[in-house]
Amino acid sequence: MDSDKTLLRKENIRIIEEFRAAIDQMGKLKEELAEEKAARAREAAQSALWKKKYEDAVAKNYETRSLQGQAQSGGLPADHRAPADITDELADADARHDRRDKERGALIGRLEDGSMQDGDGRMAAGILREDEVLISEHMAGAAAIAASNARLRGELRKYDNENTPSSRRHPWYKKTGKKDDKKPAKKSGRKPGHPGVSRKNKADRTEHHRPERCVCGSRNLKDIGSSGKMITDIPYIPACEFVYHVSHKCKCLDCGVENEGKTPGISHTSLGSNLMTMAAGMWHAHASIRSICEFVYNQTGLKISAGAMQNALESLGEKAEVVKQDLIKELVAGGSCNADETGYPLNGDDGWAWVYVTLYITIIDMAGSRSSLVPLKYLPLDMMIVCDGYSVYIRFRVKQRCWAHILRTADSFADEGPAESELCGMLHDLYRDVDAAWKAKLGEAAARRRMAELDARLSGIVAAYEGVQCTFAGTLGKAEPDLFNCILYHVLTPTNNDAERAVRYVVAHRRCRQQLRSEGGMKMFGALLTCILTWKKRGISVREGVLSLMGG
């Protein structure tokens, strides 16, 4: 009998020890579950923030495209669950977890009191299995929320990314707050690398101004000193002059050839050269057609309808189109250019402005498509170009990928972690070495050696990005073969900034005019802007250029 009691006591002790070990295990699982629950709450809060950002970006895109007369796009895909829906589905798991907490508390109480019941061991094992299921469910929910966050970030980058102009960025990306008073003030004058701009300091004439009488009324005055200031002004614009020009035909009495006198001006408009230079200058300054007409009326008293002014500018555009075709031939003969493109709606439909730039030429080609066939209309396949990562340029023989685009993308990924931030700094250092090698104008052999050295460094950076599983590694790897060609071909530049500066003029016109209304207006826009921007590169004023188009 005593031996049976001893065996039973040992068995009870063993069961109690196993149950205490199970309770300790449950405590650890409970702590892990609490940590997982907190992590899930953080993920849900972050997911809600990304969802709000995405919906705001979609709404902003909707408004912008509505103003431009384009088809609206955006919205949450119907086949994806929102993060809030995912967290709602986890509510049942939370309820089960709370119920098991009560059962666990009762079980622990019986263990401490020594009043164990039959089936408590099976209950402990069941609670352990239930906790494992709950943890796996919570981990799956957290993974679903993380995947949803990644998807929302990807959708958001379509509307707000490193290449989005600051004017279209949402306010939460813009720096706010008071300016730092300790920050040193900017120096006046030009920035390093920019041409200086100053006004003429020598006067064309000098005028003297003497008081006729004192404030007391006396005229007995004596010179005791003088001071002066420079005033810049333009001559007064007089009223319009209407001149009737008669073209005479004359026959040569020696050879019998008939000759006709040439009248000034251009066809399809009665506006003279001075009015056309004024209108073209205001058009380039982004004034609307009606604003140009109103300005002419206020300055000269001449009333011109908007239709007449539009016809006059289109006639000037026909003259500019001839010059544009000659400039295209000159650009192609040079063998290299910078290329870029930007949207410009045409009467509610999608339209595009293609930009080709060299040191002394800027071509603006308006097209209704962003197809790869558009640049091939003018540029041969053996043309060397500087471009961004748009796939239409892949056909050209020699390409130089824009380093500015690469660095902006790297900057956008630098906030994802310390590794990405360090790699971004390494890319900036690599670009400085590329720029120095380009400016050095190395010979072919030295250039190829330097390209190999820099390419080896870039390969290491790409591998490091892959090691931290950063998606930027794919973009950088695809761009790698075309990032060092400027060192070998000196006519290519490391960045595409020249083309992007020309694109800014197109964007400024688009903001003011919203869209072009006709094919004729599209052709006039491209031809006039081509001539004006080319004149600007060559130091020719708009007035001088327009007079040359009109033969004056």
Three-state SS string over 198-217 comes to CCCCCCCCCCCCCCCCCCCC
Three-state SS string over 222-246 comes to CCCCCCCCCCCCCCCCCCCCCCCCC
164, 342 contact by CB (below 8 A): no
What is the model's pTM? 0.67
CA 302 to chain centre: 42
By DSSP bridging, strand 258-260 and strand 249-251 are: antiparallel
Closest C-alpha to 51, from 162, 150, 187:
150
Q: What is the pLDDT of residue 269?
A: 86
pLDDT of residue 234 exceeding 50: yes
Closest C-alpha to 367, from 384, 386, 345:
345
Sequence-ordered strand ranges (E) for 285-397: 336-343, 352-357, 362-367, 384-387
Q: Following DSSP, what letter does each residue of 478-509 receive, concatenated?
A: HHGGGSSHHHHSTTS-SS-HHHHHHHHHHHHH
Residues 458-480: tens digit of each pLDDT: 999 999 999 988 889 999 999 99
Q: State mean pLDDT over 500-505.
A: 92
12-26, 131-145, 237-251, 283-297: least confidently modelled range: 12-26
Residue bearing the bigger pLDDT, 202 or 510: 510
Q: Compute the distance between CA of residue 179 and CA of residue 18 in angstroms, rounded to an integer.
A: 66
Closest C-alpha to 543, from 287, 277, 354, 331:
277
Residues 264-293: tens digit of each pLDDT: 888 888 888 889 999 999 999 989 899 999
By DSSP bridging, strand 336-343 and strand 384-387 are: parallel
Closest C-alpha to 339, from 497, 163, 531, 480:
497
Q: What is the pLDDT of residue 363?
A: 96
Q: What is the pLDDT of residue 404?
A: 92
Q: What is the pLDDT of residue 235?
A: 79
Q: Following DSSP, what letter does each residue of 35-84 receive, concatenated?
A: HHHHHHHHHHHHHHHHHHHHHHHHHHHHHHHHHTTPPP-----TTS--HH
Q: Compute the distance between CA of residue 146 and CA of residue 163 in angstroms, rounded to an integer.
A: 25
Q: What is the pLDDT of residue 80?
A: 47
Q: Compute the distance between CA of residue 505 and CA of residue 204 in angstroms, rounded to an integer.
A: 34
Terminal-to-terminal C-alpha distance of the chain: 131
408, 163 contact by CB (below 8 A): yes
Closest C-alpha to 96, from 155, 33, 147:
33
Q: What is the pLDDT of residue 348?
A: 81
Q: How far is CA 499 from CA 14, 118, 189, 341, 364, in A?
A: 81, 83, 25, 9, 10
Q: Choose the most confident range, by mean pLDDT, from 23-37, 220-234, 310-324.
A: 310-324
Residues 363-393: tens digit of each pLDDT: 999 998 888 889 998 999 999 999 998 888 9
Q: Choose the most confident range, by mean pLDDT, from 97-101, 242-246, 338-342, 508-512.
A: 338-342
Q: How far is CA 237 from CA 284, 291, 543, in A?
A: 20, 18, 15
46-50, 167-171, 173-177, 214-218: least confidently modelled range: 173-177
Closest C-alpha to 16, from 126, 124, 131:
124
User: What torsion, rounded to 10 degrees, do the Cα atoms 28, 29, 35, 37 define?
Assistant: -160
502, 327 contact by CB (below 8 A): no
Tokens of 121: 């061991």
Q: Which helix (H) or strand (E) holds 342?
A: strand 336-343
Residue bearing the bigger pLDDT, 80 or 164: 164
Tokens of 21: 């070990």
Residues 22-61: tens digit of each pLDDT: 667 766 767 777 777 777 777 777 666 666 666 666 565 5
Q: Compute the distance between CA of residue 157 and CA of residue 420 in angstroms, rounded to an integer.
A: 18
- Residue 342: phi and psi, rounded to 5, are -150, 155
